[in-house]
Structure 1
Amino acid sequence: MKLINIRYIISLLLCLLSSAGVIAQSEDIMVNGIVKNSTGQPVEGVSVLVQEKTQGIFTDKEGKFNITCSGNDRLVLKKAGFNTVYIAAYEIKPEKPIILNESLIEAGDDDNVYIPFGLRKKREVTATISTVTDADLPQLPLSTLNNALTGRLSGLHIQQTGNRPGTDDATFLIRGRSSYNSGQSPLVLVDGVARDFVDMDVNEIESISVLKDAGTLSWYGMNGANGIIYVTTKRGSASSTKITFDAQGGVQTPVTLTNPLKSYAYAFLYNEARQNDGLSSQYSQQDLVGYYTGEDPYTYPDNDFPSQFLKKVSPVQRYVATVSGGNAFARYFTLLSFYDQDGLYKGGNNANYNSNTNFRRYNFRTNLDLHINKNLDVSLDVGGRVANLRYPRDGNTSFLNTIFTTPSNAFAVLNADESYGGSSLFRNNPLAMLEARGNITDVYRTLLATANVRQKLDSWLKGLSLNLFYTYDMTGLYTSGFTQNYEVYELASPGNYTRFGNQSPLDYASSTFSGNLRNNEFWAGFDYDRNFNKHGFKFSTRVQRAVSASSGRLDDKREGISNRLSYSYNQRYFADLIASYSGSQNFIKGNRFGWFPAISAGWIVSEENFLKSSKFLDYFKLRGSYGLVGNDAIGAARRFAFNNYFTRGGTQYFFGTGYSNVPNTAQLELANPDLTWEKAKKASLGFDTRFLKQAFTLSADYFHETRSDLLTTDLSSGIIGEQLVQINAGKAQYQGVEGNLSFTKTINKVTFGLHGNYTYVKSKILSLNEEGGLPDYQRQVGFPIGGVVHGDGTVRRFLIAEGLFQSEEEIAEAPVQRFSGAVKPGDIRYKDINNDGVIDNLDFVSTNYSDIPTAYFGFGGSAKYAGFDVSFLFQGVTGRTIQINSLVNSGTSNSGYINQFSAYRWTPATAEEALYPRLTINDRTNNTANSDYWLRSGDFLKLKHVELGYTLPESTTKRLKLTSCRFYVSGFNLLTFDKLGNLPIDPEIPEAGFNSSYPYLSTFALGMNLKF
């Protein structure tokens, strides 16, 4: 089946290639041209090549050339020290010189930087932008792209949050957080359009940039305050037809996984917990002996559910084929890819369906650039994907919770009569969940279409062009599967079983269409690009309208106008003025639009006379920016919170003489007509430099942001019995530094490089409405934004733990702790913050602990010798805190909250080395309260990626009719260094492999890359 999929990919690609090759033919013509530099002097020795062909000549002393080619051909003009020029043959005239510009530092062929609806050379960029190209991205069989970016871009913090097939989740932050509300994720743009990129194939991508300061973000006005991840996709080859094929196969293996207690240990500790609660033992001595000997697995079962139902490895594979090329009139890039990721579940064989989780995705893309005539260019892009995600009927969460938290002695998976085991307390049987409950298959279909038209208006004004841009995106979800139910039987006495549940036969589950979403964006405007001697002007203006429509809700609409004026003098001094006027329907009419201006500037200092003679410094640019950006995703309690709303139901009343009650109508929180967006004032100052013959490159920035009008609680009097939704009275800030350093050198035949990036950022709450009478030590003003993740939220206030009580005498002398009925030796002792002799809610303290790191970084290197190459990448964070309360105290009352960590509890015999409090079942409030006892350092350093490759020599590839052939082996998530000691968890995703979370995974793969 998988080989058939590959054949389909190759066949479709060949069809697309043949169709793309049908380009208008014309007779050969003689082309006469002349090449000059920017000062008007002829350039000798310029290579003039016909695209897609090997023929070529060089210009003579007068810069002239003559070449025979088709009128449809595209000529490529190259010379060292100059930027390459691509020009259609029919556009070349003897009387019109072709200008070849000298290649300045950071203005070469490979120095393009994409900005919103624009393109600049690096030296022209005055804003702070970090970029990785497709050559920097690893070829890994991963279900999402987000984790492949980890550690590669300064200012971008990526935290992995999940590992399930098809849901390799992660969160993004750019330069930390300056708001304590939700809606802090950056805006993701693909080719300038708000689209998700994590499900794209890496071979679709030309570059990924992180836009971080007001110099670029102000273009997007009310949507840019959180930063932007700007993705550009590949387009047709600039010089020749290229065909590539990538194949990867590998395995994924769990790194962190719960190690459940054996039945004897579990029963022993369960008895101990009951005794600590003053209760009798649950298990007799005979039971303990039975669990210890394991002679009767039906009466005294001893399961290792994770080992029984999780595989050691699961397969993963990826195949990608691309074709690109074209001529003077049309250029194209086409991609087809197939990705298949199996889950770790095992068992549950069923002839009718498979319940093991699995993810398959098919990606396709065609980017077509048409040069209609000398004044009109049209780009048509079509892309999309089809993704199939399969999982058990009860869901991954329920299944994982069953195998991770069900006690090993709960029941025999299969009874002696082959019926499913279970009990009155534990009715989920993992084997039955896989083979007798059915499954679910979600099919996601996404279609993305873009049309971009550029009409030159040189006849009106030289350098002026009209631009139209329109997108049509559709996404839908189709859910289907099988459903059935099973019975479980508990052994009551030898040969006698008690049944729980009701069995139902296999049936098709109801199929549903949901998640249908349509997004449209329309941009229209003008560009002006003109040079006057040493003066350069670029101006862009766009009107935007965006609509997002989905069934079951009102449309989301955005409108605005964006403007950017760029000025350069002598390619040494640069300035940009940006201003947008954008609005959102999240606010009341008359208060929906706002202005978002910004200014940025750059100065190539190294080209001044006082630095030109420096032998150490090759290039040095200063740049800075300041501006205002907005965020309308403010996390209000409800949509359209500027309106009053009423609800029916709830308490019912009797009126008149009748006996029928009448539903009441109640008003929700009072509306806030003054509701407005968050306003972020961003400042950034930095430099870019190259030195020691450009072997080293260094960029560094200082940044500061103050964000105002944050939503916070309304503290006005509630005398009328209603509260306002929320008000814009909050304020916060962050500031920090970031930098990038790289080194490249070739010694003899060895080329090696080192690179690294570092970001340090600290945030602070400046204003936040808090309850009156709150003690100063519980106020959050002045503390960092964020908190320690716990459950579905974050915790910022903690009790201060002072170890464990060791005796009744200590308890008698200590303040009274009112979090449980009775405090005993082995319980956590807390500090009396307000010295009132009582430990209660007034003893919680606001702290600096946060899940958001204060610093994050990445560093790596590469080396090449002959046909061999190797590369590696490390990623790390510091200043991060995690909690283990939900791990150590996991479980339910049915399981007694006994787990693998319970072995390290306090007892009189283990008092000195105990890691955790005594065991209890009924009275756990004292020991499970939020306190710093359960906090641990979340700092880590990870070997994120290693790749070793070998490229066949050119003599061999020529015999194979190939341009190149490379084989490689790679690994992802390989090693972790942390401060957790012997705690067997991952510091990035602490619950991975525990409770109900999919295990943390390492990936190992073999790959092959062919180029034709």
Structure 2
Amino acid sequence: KNNRYNYRANLDINVTKSTTLKLGLGGRLETKKDPKFGEQNNLWMEILRVQPFSSPGFVDGNLVQIKNRYIPMTMRNLFYMYYGKGYTEASQNTMNLDMDLTQKLDFITKGLSFNIKGAYNTSYTGSKSWNGSMESYTPVYKSSLTDPGLAIDDPNFDHTIVYQLEGTASALSASEDWSTKTRDWYVEASLRYDRTFGDHKVGGLLLYNMTKQYYPKANTDIPKGYLGLVGRVTYAYKDRYLVDFNAGYNGSENFAPGKRYGFFPAASLGWVISEEKFMKQVDFISFLKLRASYGLVGNDILNEYKRFLYLPDSYSASSGGYYWGVNTPQAYPGASELILGNPDVTWEKAAKQNYGLDMNLLDQRLNFSLDVFFEKRKDILIQQNTVPGFVAADLPAVNLGKVNNKGYEISLGWNDKIGSKFRYWLKGNVSFSRNEIVYKDEIPQNEPYMYETGRSIGLNYGYVFDRFFEAKDFNEDGSTITGIPTQSGTFKPGDILFKDLNNDGVIDGDDKTYFGYGENPEYIFGLNAGFEYKGFDFSMNWTGATNVSRRLEEDFTRPFNTGDAPLMKWMVEERWTEEKGQSAQFPRFTQTNRMHNSQMSDFWVRDASYLRLKNLEIGYTLNTDVLKKVGIQKLRVFANGYNLLTFDHLGFIDPESKISNKNKYPNTRIYNFGVNVNF
């Protein structure tokens, strides 16, 4: 159960004719109550793992819990996981303050102004846990209580089912409480200049910013801070030729003195061709612009939990310690180094190029935009791999990695009228992005296909599915026939047969490679369309993606999971059988060879392309004299829906989610009905 109250107040003040002040106060008060078993996501995981016959429910107000006295498996009773266990209650108070002060400095020179901004955010969460217990019934055979020594198959054994009360009931009591807090602030001061001299527009910006976070996530209370200085100069001639120069000078705590600051310049050019005299005769083009930019950006983060990359981690103390002595060695407590520091580590850098074309044609009815980008990222923060084993230490981050990125984005739109009352529009877009690992200090491999260098980031690594074993692949004694690659394990028809990539007759680690796509799609596309007619309006928004993969995880790759979990209907229908053969979507169901079939291979990596109707809305607007007489300028009634349709290859997993397992709150379909009234 969640209760949330949001508040927001804004105040704009004209202090003088040249001074404006904006103040904002916002936040929320939130209480959240979860069952003691855990977060709601755990519930969705357990729903699929619980056996349908694990409990008949409640009898006389008490839960019936089936134990493994007569059944050779552990019953996963979903009710029992929550039944009487208590709950955890958390209260959160979040507050956000912001301020914006602008002072015009026209008395110095026209177009000059000074601005200062500030923001302060704080949050406190207090949590308390309440524990309890309840009595429950366990079904047993009557003779198990009256004559516990009697065998269950004895003719005199009474198989009448009775309910035995077990456990104790206790009132809820507070067991523990804890709290978390966050606090950060941001300050920005800038001097801006914007002025027009005839056909010339000039602008300039000098900006300083600083931020500090007092309770970062990196398991430490040491505040985290950043400093930055930004400069920009712009020039435009007749809004036809555009020039923009930017530069950033940023500092990071993650690097040693002398390495903390990075300089990141950028420049862009624009040419509005439609403003040229020779374009005035081309009446079907109303706007045409070419643009290009080049810039350098930086990154200082290895991961969110690793800070101060130039310093070594704290030592790890061990109670076992080290052994000293020859004949009777004794253990002495000691400490070991963790990750070493690197005083030479500095900013990761990326050189980015962008080229673009913008066009409006046919009296603004047809719109077209094209963006092409290239990125070369170097000095990427990674940990070395090609280090001898006798270097008994966890190595620090170094500036070694290299990755290239490229892609484009295209949008095309049409907006027009038919007659005076029917207006319609249609706009589509598609984007493409692909990266390539240029260098990552890989360990030498036995086969060229085992390297990640030259491939995209985030590909899955494992064996390659060849086919399912068939009956003809086995001799009478159950061994595989000649020609089947050798691999450890005992196999039966319906098990997975992997490809022998190096043709050495053995399936081993040298037959692993990279395959599929990453979890981020290479192609993303969308479509927005709608119309308006005599007060009616309709709009819809489609989104989709392709060249994207999802890896199925444990509960899909291991039937029966820990040995006692149930099976989903579609898994049973799509499993391997002699009739289904090579068209099966899952190998044979077994509890004895699950590790072989479930190990990482491209068999478990599925196409996650999808097309989704993200939003659809219909409405009708009333704008009559009758409404105006009662003070209503306009009234609109509408209905809309979200996540209404999805077309994909997965079916059982949300294709937009990067989590392929089911321990996640399911995707929701939302319907809204409403009224907008303007007075």
Structures share fold, TM-score greater than 0.5: yes
How far off its partner does 1:984 sit?
4.0
Selected match of 2:57 from 378, 403, 413: 413
Q: Which amino acid aligns with 1:388?
A: T
How far off its partner does 1:418 sit?
3.6
- Within the alignment, does 1:384 sit opposite 2:27 as a pair? yes
How far off its partner does 1:619 sit?
0.7
How far off its partner does 1:639 sit?
2.3
Q: Which amino acid aligns with 1:843?
A: D
Selected match of 1:755 from 427, 433, 441: 427
Alpha-carbon distance in 2 for matches of 1:958, 1:479: 52
Query: After alignment, is 459-468 or 880-889 more displaced?
Result: 880-889
> 1:729 maps to what in 2?
400
Alpha-carbon distance in 2 for matches of 1:801, 1:958: 70
> 1:525 maps to what in 2?
190
Alpha-carbon distance in 1 for matches of 2:462, 2:171: 51
> 2:293 maps to what in 1?
625
Alpha-carbon distance in 2 for matches of 1:386, 1:427: 40
Deviations 1:787-838 (A, max 9, x none): 3xxxxxxxx213111110112535323444535x311211111111112211
Identity %: 30
How far off its partner does 1:628 sit?
0.2
Selected match of 1:776 from 426, 435, 448: 448
How far off its partner does 1:497 sit?
5.6
How far off its partner does 1:906 sit?
2.4
SS of residue matched to 1:606: helix
**Cα 1:716–1:434 shift into 2, 3 Å:** closer
Could you tell me whether the CA contact under 8 Å between 1:465 and 1:527 is conserved in 2? yes
SS of residue matched to 2:64: coil
Q: Which amino acid aligns with 2:669?
A: S
Could you tell me whether the CA contact under 8 Å between 1:802 and 1:829 is conserved in 2? yes
Alpha-carbon distance in 2 for matches of 1:685, 1:454: 35
Selected match of 1:847 from 510, 515, 518: 515
> 2:149 maps to what in 1?
none
SS of residue matched to 1:550: coil
How far off its partner does 1:500 sit?
7.3
> 1:134 maps to what in 2?
none
Q: Which amino acid aligns with 1:652?
A: G
Could you tell me whether the CA contact under 8 Å between 1:637 and 1:726 is conserved in 2? no
> 2:155 maps to what in 1?
none
Could you tell me whether the CA contact under 8 Å between 2:90 and 2:126 is conserved in 1? yes
Alpha-carbon distance in 2 for matches of 1:634, 1:669: 13
How far off its partner does 1:865 sit?
1.4
Alpha-carbon distance in 2 for matches of 1:888, 1:434: 25
SS of residue matched to 2:193: strand
> 1:743 maps to what in 2?
414
Could you tell me whether the CA contact under 8 Å between 1:392 and 1:399 is conserved in 2? no
Could you tell me whether the CA contact under 8 Å between 1:415 and 1:421 is conserved in 2? no
Could you tell me whether the CA contact under 8 Å between 2:298 and 2:350 is conserved in 1? yes
**Cα 1:858–1:610 shift into 2, 3 Å:** same
Q: Which amino acid aligns with 2:212?
A: V
**Cα 1:814–1:476 shift into 2, 3 Å:** farther
How far off its partner does 1:381 sit?
1.7
Instruction: List gaps (5 residues or longer) in structure 1.
Output: 1-357, 788-795
SS of residue matched to 2:542: strand
> 2:154 maps to what in 1?
none
**Cα 1:752–1:361 shift into 2, 3 Å:** farther
Deviations 1:864-919 (A, max 9, x none): 11221111000000111123353533553241564331343223454365432111
Q: Which amino acid aligns with 1:442?
A: A
- Within the alignment, does 1:546 sit opposite 2:194 as a pair? no
1:503-518 alignment, distance < 5 Å: 503-508=169-174, 510-514=176-180, 516-518=181-183
Could you tell me whether the CA contact under 8 Å between 2:50 and 2:77 is conserved in 1? no
- Greater relative contact order (Cα 8 A, min sep 6): structure 1 or 2? 1
**Cα 1:416–1:423 shift into 2, 3 Å:** farther
- Within the alignment, does 1:616 sit opposite 2:284 as a pair? yes
Could you tell me whether the CA contact under 8 Å between 1:808 and 1:824 is conserved in 2? no
How far off its partner does 1:562 sit?
0.7
Identify, as 1 or 2, the structure richer in strand.
2
> 2:465 maps to what in 1?
801
- Within the alignment, does 1:642 sit opposite 2:310 as a pair? yes
Could you tell me whether the CA contact under 8 Å between 1:420 and 1:429 is conserved in 2? no
> 1:767 maps to what in 2?
439
**Cα 1:650–1:687 shift into 2, 3 Å:** farther
How far off its partner does 1:732 sit?
0.5
How far off its partner does 1:487 sit?
5.0
SS of residue matched to 1:676: coil
Could you tell me whether the CA contact under 8 Å between 1:755 and 1:859 is conserved in 2? yes
Q: Which amino acid aligns with 1:550?
A: Y
SS of residue matched to 1:685: strand
SS of residue matched to 2:669: strand
Q: Which amino acid aligns with 1:477?
A: T
> 2:390 maps to what in 1?
719
> 2:546 maps to what in 1?
878
How far off its partner does 1:587 sit?
1.3
Could you tell me whether the CA contact under 8 Å between 2:516 and 2:602 is conserved in 1? no
Could you tell me whether the CA contact under 8 Å between 1:897 and 1:921 is conserved in 2? no
Q: Which amino acid aligns with 1:397?
A: N
Alpha-carbon distance in 2 for matches of 1:815, 1:771: 30
> 1:566 maps to what in 2?
234
For this pair of structures, how many residues does the alignment match? 642
SS of residue matched to 1:962: coil
**Cα 1:637–1:868 shift into 2, 3 Å:** closer
Could you tell me whether the CA contact under 8 Å between 1:387 and 1:445 is conserved in 2? yes
Alpha-carbon distance in 2 for matches of 1:602, 1:930: 50
Query: After alignment, is 495-504 or 867-876 more displaced?
Result: 495-504
**Cα 1:391–1:1011 shift into 2, 3 Å:** farther
Q: Which amino acid aligns with 2:200?
A: H
Could you tell me whether the CA contact under 8 Å between 1:878 and 1:939 is conserved in 2? yes
Could you tell me whether the CA contact under 8 Å between 1:883 and 1:935 is conserved in 2? yes
Could you tell me whether the CA contact under 8 Å between 1:942 and 1:976 is conserved in 2? yes
Selected match of 2:481 from 804, 812, 816: 812
Alpha-carbon distance in 1 for matches of 2:471, 2:199: 84
Alpha-carbon distance in 2 for matches of 1:913, 1:735: 37
> 2:101 maps to what in 1?
453
SS of residue matched to 2:321: strand
- Within the alignment, does 1:478 sit opposite 2:126 as a pair? yes
Could you tell me whether the CA contact under 8 Å between 2:302 and 2:397 is conserved in 1? no
**Cα 1:957–1:384 shift into 2, 3 Å:** farther
> 1:954 maps to what in 2?
624
Could you tell me whether the CA contact under 8 Å between 2:83 and 2:133 is conserved in 1? no
Alpha-carbon distance in 1 for matches of 2:442, 2:582: 42
Q: Which amino acid aligns with 2:284?
A: F
**Cα 1:556–1:771 shift into 2, 3 Å:** same
Could you tell me whether the CA contact under 8 Å between 1:857 and 1:876 is conserved in 2? yes
- Within the alignment, does 1:684 sit opposite 2:328 as a pair? no
Deviations 1:705-753 (A, max 9, x none): 1111113331233434224123221110111110222222122211211
Alpha-carbon distance in 2 for matches of 1:428, 1:910: 31
How far off its partner does 1:923 sit?
2.4
1:157-196 alignment, distance < 5 Å: none
**Cα 1:995–1:409 shift into 2, 3 Å:** farther
- Within the alignment, does 1:966 sit opposite 2:636 as a pair? yes
- Within the alignment, does 1:708 sit opposite 2:352 as a pair? no
Q: Which amino acid aligns with 1:400?
A: W
> 1:429 maps to what in 2?
77
How far off its partner does 1:695 sit?
1.0
**Cα 1:499–1:884 shift into 2, 3 Å:** farther
Alpha-carbon distance in 2 for matches of 1:763, 1:654: 49
**Cα 1:965–1:543 shift into 2, 3 Å:** same
Alpha-carbon distance in 2 for matches of 1:956, 1:481: 58
> 1:1005 maps to what in 2?
672
How far off its partner does 1:555 sit?
0.5
Instruction: List gaps (5 residues or longer) in structure 2.
Output: 142-159, 475-479
Could you tell me whether the CA contact under 8 Å between 2:617 and 2:640 is conserved in 1? yes
Q: Which amino acid aligns with 1:622?
A: L
Q: Which amino acid aligns with 2:196?
A: N
How far off its partner does 1:578 sit?
0.4
Q: Normalising by structure 2, what TM-score?
A: 0.88
